[in-house]
Chains A and B, each alone.
Chain A
Amino acid sequence: MKRLVQWLHRLEDSVLVLLLLAMILLAGYDILARSIFGGGVSWIPPLLRVMVLWIGLLGALLATRSREHISIDLISRLGGPTLNRIASTITLLFAAVVCGLVGWFSGQYVQLAFEYQDIAFADIPAWPLQLIIPFTFGLMGLRFFIQGIAAATGKEQTA
């Protein structure tokens, strides 16, 4: 189990790093094409935009791992350890439910996009590109849930 989680972490990291590298190279190539060969490559800009979505969501997944999401965090800093634990548990489980819902409905939506053969750009169907939404939200929900349980039982654990 632990091996599997580690493997998943490494996979996320590598995909993210590779996406960023690919983004820099593709954007650079597009500029070259435009200034030297006189015209751009029409599929690069829309592809770059999809990569922004992917990088953003995978980055968010990463932030979930280390609990680094933007938050206000007032009560837990003023209260004692018990209040802190209660607040952590509730907010983490809340986040888990929200992510779970977004993931669930996104999954339904991607199915719909598949049925309708929604096109993203050029001839590329939209659904594989959109699949990242239910995937990341589902996994974020799972992580928040595990963290919430860990907070409730007083154990520190990362998933």
Chain B
Amino acid sequence: MSILVTALLLLLALAGAPLFAVIAASAMWGFFQTDVDLQVMAVEIYRVAEMPVLIAIPLFTFAGYLMGESKAPQRLVRITDAFLGWMPGGLAIVALAACALFTAFTGASGVTIVALGALLVPALQKAGYRENFNLGLVTTSGSLGLLFAPSLPLILYGVIAQQMSLETPVSIDDLFLAGILPGLLMLTALSLYSAWQSRHLPKSDQTFDRAEAWAAIKDSAWEIPLPFVVLGGIYGGFFAVSEAAAITAFYVLIVTVVIRREITFTQLPVVMRDSMKLVGAILLILAVSLASTNYMIDAGVPEKVFDTIQAHVTDGFTFLLLLTIFLLILGMMLDIFSAIVIMIPIILPIAVQYGIHPVHLGILFLANMQLGYFTPPVGMNLFIASFRFNKPVMTLYRATLPFFFILLATVLIITYWPGLSLLLVE
């Protein structure tokens, strides 16, 4: 694509043009230049209807909006306070863990931010955390947990690596094991930061109060089964992820509208409409970026960039460093599944030559991708959070920056310390 067109599109984006229009325009310009019929836009947009995981987006989003509009955030604060009030950053840590588990199932498609964000940001606010911290935490957590089983990207990496018939076999179970410690490292680092951030909060020097704990449990009686039903249902083999989304939506609908009556029947269509507006804004960007990704694949852009990088590599250390930078950018630009499918067959054989264990490569690849989701300026989750919380994207750049550097540090540790990934495998 010529520099002039790129600059023009960038300018339009900065001037506030809808992002989907900018992405669609870049895709169409690219296709036009390479003589591909622009009807391809329709084919790519229709692919949204061929991705099973996307069913979870409207359903979880709706459930999240309903809970956010009800009094569930207050109850969440109360119950974490009763049990973890003594722990600095207790609620923030609960939020991190919840997001990580959720993302392990939903694969960081932004679902975590829209579904849990609606609940967690008001809850954190009520507990007295700074707004920027809350926004940063939830945006960051939107991709946290990619390294935990049963995340689909991990499985996909395993399947691709397996088919390349390497000398060292890559089993999915090994990848599940290898992801645990690096994933925990990221969680721990963010938890420590949260604990440190909560030092300004009024100290609740109350000791554990049994009566209050019991009251809090009773208060949240309808919400407590939800995580057990969802996680238990998936692990127990009763339903798949998209079905868990349907059950959650149905359950939350019944509880908030029929049982608790915190949302009235007249409010309900409004909540539905608002939540689907968000789904529309997200899916539209996703749809057109399928097209722009497809243009890049068609023109072989990632391969060319990687070839350039490889031409400047002399040793394993430099290779990993350049790989990290490259993957960050890739994670920002491409969706994770395309990134795996296109790049792993190219990167893996070269990485193996530099003595990098294929399981380790998988973990560091995904860790980088996870960071890419909220790498400024165009990490997808930044935009999703901007929309969800109705904040300018600039605010989110600032809010996520500390989190970005913390996770960057952990990504470097994960990259340069293979033992962390391989300890449980061997």
Contacts and interface: CB of A to CB of B under 8 A. Distances in A.
A63 B54 CA distance: 19
B12 A130 contact: no
A149 interface: no
B290 to A, nearest CB: 12
A61 B279 CA distance: 11
Given A31-B239, A49-B52, A98-B21, A90 B38 contact: no
A17 B269 contact: yes
B25 A109 contact: no
- What's the dominant secondary structure at chain A's contact region? helix
A154 B393 CA distance: 26
Interface string B235-246: 000110011011
Contact of A69 (B14, B55, B281): B281
Interface in A66-88: 66, 68-77, 87-88
B42 A70 contact: no
Interface residues of B, number: 65
B161 interface: no
B16 A59 contact: no
A8 interface: no
A129 B392 contact: no
B39 A105 contact: yes
A21 B58 CA distance: 11
Contact of A101 (B28, B238, B245): B28
Interface in B3-61: 12-21, 24-25, 28, 37-39, 41-43, 45-46, 48-52, 54-55, 57-59
A6 interface: no
B80 interface: no
A88 B15 CA distance: 8
A55 B281 contact: no
Contacts of B279: 55-56, 59
B12 A102 contact: no
B392 A73 contact: yes
B148 interface: no
A71 B49 CA distance: 25
Contacts of A129: 49
Contact of A23 (B14, B43, B58, B239): B58
Nearest to B43: A109
Nearest to A29: B246
Q: Pick the most buried of B21, B45, B57, B253: most chain A CB atoms within 10 A of its CB.
A: B21
Interface in B280-315: 280-287
Interface in A101-122: 101-102, 105-106, 108-110, 112, 120
Contacts, number: 212
A149 B286 CA distance: 28
B250 A16 contact: no
How many A residues are at the interface, by size bracket? 35 or more
B273 A62 contact: yes
A159 interface: no
B195 interface: no
B41 A106 contact: yes
Nearest to B238: A35
Nearest to B14: A74
Contacts of B387: 68, 70
Given A60-B281, A62-B273, A95 B49 contact: no
A66 B276 CA distance: 13
Contacts of B57: 52
B41 A70 contact: no
A49 B49 CA distance: 5
Contact of B393 (A27, A73, A101, A106): A73
Residue among A13, A35, A105 with the most chain B CB within 10 A?
A: A105
Nearest to B38: A105
B42 A88 contact: no
B367 interface: no
B243 to A, nearest CB: 5
Contacts of B284: 56-57, 60, 63, 69
B333 to A, nearest CB: 16
A98 B25 contact: yes
A50 B47 CA distance: 9
B39 A31 contact: no
Nearest to A67: B18
B28 A133 contact: no
Interface of A: 13, 16-17, 20-21, 23-24, 27-28, 30-31, 34-35, 45-46, 48-50, 52-53, 55-63, 66, 68-77, 87-88, 90-91, 94-95, 98-99, 101-102, 105-106, 108-110, 112, 120, 126, 129-130, 133-134
Interface of B: 12-21, 24-25, 28, 37-39, 41-43, 45-46, 48-52, 54-55, 57-59, 62, 238-239, 242-243, 245-247, 249-250, 253, 269, 272-273, 276-287, 377, 383-384, 386-387, 392-394
Listed from nearest, the 5 A-B pairs whose CB atoms lie closest are: A59-B280, A56-B283, A27-B246, A60-B280, A69-B18
21 contacts: A20-B62, A24-B246, A24-B249, A27-B242, A30-B246, A35-B239, A52-B48, A56-B280, A58-B276, A69-B18, A71-B17, A71-B19, A72-B393, A73-B393, A75-B15, A87-B16, A102-B42, A105-B41, A108-B39, A120-B49, A133-B46
Given A63-B281, A105-B38, 11 more contacts: A31-B238, A31-B243, A31-B246, A55-B276, A56-B282, A59-B276, A69-B18, A70-B19, A70-B383, A77-B392, A106-B42
